[in-house]
Amino acid sequence: MTTLKEVLAKKIEEHRKRTTKLLVEHGDVKISEVTIAQAIGGMRGVKSLVTDISYLDPYEGIRFRGYTIQEVMEKLPKPEGKDYPYVEGFLYLLLTGDIPTKEQALEVVEDMRKRSQVPQYVFDMLRALPRDSHPMAMFSAAIVSMQRESVFAKAYSEGKFNKYNSWEYMYEDVLNLLAKLPQIGAFIYRLKYKGDTQIDPDPNLDFGGNFARMMGIDPPYDEVARMYFILHSDHESGNVSAHTTHLVASALSDAYYSLAAGINGLAGPLHGLANQEVLAWIQKFMEKFGGGVPTEEQLKQAVWDTLNSGQVIPGYGHAVLRKTDPRYTAQREYCLKYLPDYPLFQLVSKLYDVVPDILKQHGKAKNPWPNVDAQSGVIQWYYGLTEYDFYTVLFGIGRALGVLSNITWDRALGYPIERPKSVTTDMLEEFAKQAQEAKENGHTA
């Protein structure tokens, strides 16, 4: 059987020809234009990044390597008696574009198991941090603290590195780093919230199974972990965490520096942290309404109060999506199957009934529909993980699968340092003046 690395090497060899041909023969073909609104407005809609790991259609939502969420869950190999696939098999898909056989997925399970030992200094460092540090600050610090392990940085400093082999060093760092994330995440959780009573990994378990075990949460939380990590892995490459990881890696910073940077971006409330915000927001208005399940009128009031105070409704809206996020739907389906009567799920469903109409009336958000973050906290809460400050660490473990696959391919295809051009406000005003004059004179600028 060929290993993941061997399959990937072959794919890279084939793919390089496509990228070279595009660059050499069609490099001057235009794929996008940039307006003043886009330059000021966060580059929304500017097509200027390339990735084959996933693609986000505004109406359909995400496809991983061309597969919908449902297809991924159906087609990938699963542990015996389980409904959700091996995370390791999903990584195989992200990296190669192929659905692995069970044997191929198990080869990755075994490889990652061998790489999973977390250095003691990471635990010591985490224990030395103030216990009220945010779990995302701890997670990011843990990742960057391991930079000394980078084989990529070592190869670079030893002059072994070139454009053709650099991906192999990146691949080693990526697998080494990913394999350690479940234990680091669970360690942070139990350090902060469970009096530092730690649970050792079980070498016979997979990524999701071991995470659930080390968190100390019984099955079927292992299934939730597999589902959650897969759903949160990738969302093409313009989102803050993916773009940041890619940008930092483009300076030939190694996977440890790059992922820590991406995780710092994920920690923002408009991005990954929104899943914590959703629960915080719900708790706040439930308290206000005396703790019971709010009526539809009370919910509407809470939504309007939030909007009128100038704040966003967490878990709603999106920079690209223009429909309900299929990652929201996948988690909603899980809830409908396993926790249909759970009051918090019913409340989140009621929000789905009232928020889109209110956001439409409010008239600002381009997308009034829920995103992934509106639904994920409910499931965690149901299984006893009520410390919502921790939720973005779960997101970060999942997101690492996608962004680290991306930077492996960045090095494989020799993508250069990223460096867009900036202009001044004076220059924008000059562009605007020229366009106005051209319009008045009957030409286009």
Instruction: Name residue 67's beta-bridge partners.
Output: 64
Q: Does 244 bind ligand ACO (CB under 6 A)?
A: no
Which residues are near ligand OAA by CB under 6 A? 235, 239, 319-320, 371-372
Query: Contact, 316 vs 359, CB < 8 A?
Result: yes
Q: How far is the CB of 313 from ligand OAA (least distance, A)?
A: 15
Give the residue among 332, 367, 330, 272 at the shortest CA–CA distance from 71. Answer: 330
Question: What whole-number distance in Å separates Cα of residue 71 and Cα of residue 21?
Answer: 32
272 lines the binding site for ligand ACO (CB under 6 A): yes
Catalytic residues: 271, 318, 373
Query: Is the Cβ of residue 89 or residue 317 nearer to ligand OAA in the bound state?
Result: 317
State the alpha helices, DSSP H only, in 159-288.
Answer: 166-193, 207-215, 221-231, 240-250, 255-266, 274-288
Q: Which residue has the CB atom at the shortest distance from ligand OAA? A: 239
Nearest distance in Å: CB 319, ligand OAA: 5
Nearest Cα residue to 89 out of 76, 75, 71, 73: 76
Distance of CA 62 to the CA centre of its chain: 12
Residue 400 contact, options ligand OAA, ligand ACO, none, Cβ 5-8 Å cut-off depending on partner type:
none
- Our finding on whether 364 is near ligand ACO (CB under 6 A) is yes
- Tell me the residue nearest to ligand ACO as measured from the CB: 317
> For residues 143 and 257, is the Cβ–Cβ distance under 8 A?
no
Q: Residue from 67, 316, 328, 369 that binds ligand ACO (CB under 6 A)?
A: 316
Tell me which stretch binds ligand ACO (CB under 6 A): 153-161, 166-174, 316-324, 417-425: 316-324
Our CB check for ligand OAA shows the closer of 51 and 371 to be: 371
Dihedral sign, Cα of residue 117, residue 122, residue 126, residue 127: positive
How far apart are the C-alpha atoms of 232 and 340, rounded to whole Å?
A: 23
Binding partner of residue 370 among ligand ACO, ligand OAA, none, CB cut-off 5 to 8 Å per kind:
none
Cβ contact 62:234 at 8 Å = yes
Helices and strands, number each (H, E), in the chain: 20, 2
Using the contact rule CB under 6 A, the part of the chain among 103-111, 169-177, 305-313, 383-391 near ligand ACO is: 305-313
Q: How far apart are CA 185 and CA 189, in angstroms?
A: 6
- Binding ligand ACO (rule: CB under 6 A), the pick from 146, 170, 247, 372 is 372
| Residue 314 binds: one of ligand OAA, ligand ACO, none (C-beta under 5 to 8 A by kind) | ligand ACO
From ligand ACO, ligand OAA, none, which one binds at residue 286 (CB under 5 to 8 Å depending on kind)? none
Decide: is 399 part of the binding site for ligand ACO (CB under 6 A). Answer: no
Asked if 138 contacts 129 with a C-beta cutoff of 8 angstroms, the reply is yes
Dist CA 400 CA 214 (whole Å): 19
73/374 with CB nearer ligand OAA: 374
Nearer to ligand OAA, 7 or 279 (CB): 279
- Alpha carbons within 13 A on the beta-carbon side of 16: 13
**Residues 5, 9, 11, 15: is their CA dihedral positive or negative?**
positive
Q: Using CB distances below 5 to 8 A depending on partner kind, what does residue 274 bind out of ligand ACO, ligand OAA, none?
A: ligand ACO
- Binder of ligand ACO out of 47, 322, 366, 439 (CB under 6 A): 366
* Contact region with ligand ACO (CB under 6 A), list: 29-37, 248-256, 306-314, 431-439: 306-314
Minimum CB–partner distance for residue 239 and ligand OAA (Å): 3
Give residue 377's identity as a one-letter amino acid code: G
Task: By CB under 6 A, tell whether 78 contacts ligand ACO.
Answer: no
Nearer to ligand ACO, 169 or 388 (CB): 388
Local structure of residue 273 (DSSP, 8 states)? T
Q: Write the single-letter amino acid at 396.
A: G
Q: Does 274 bind ligand ACO (CB under 6 A)?
A: yes
Residues that bind ligand ACO (CB under 6 A): 44, 270-272, 274, 307, 312-319, 364-367, 371-373
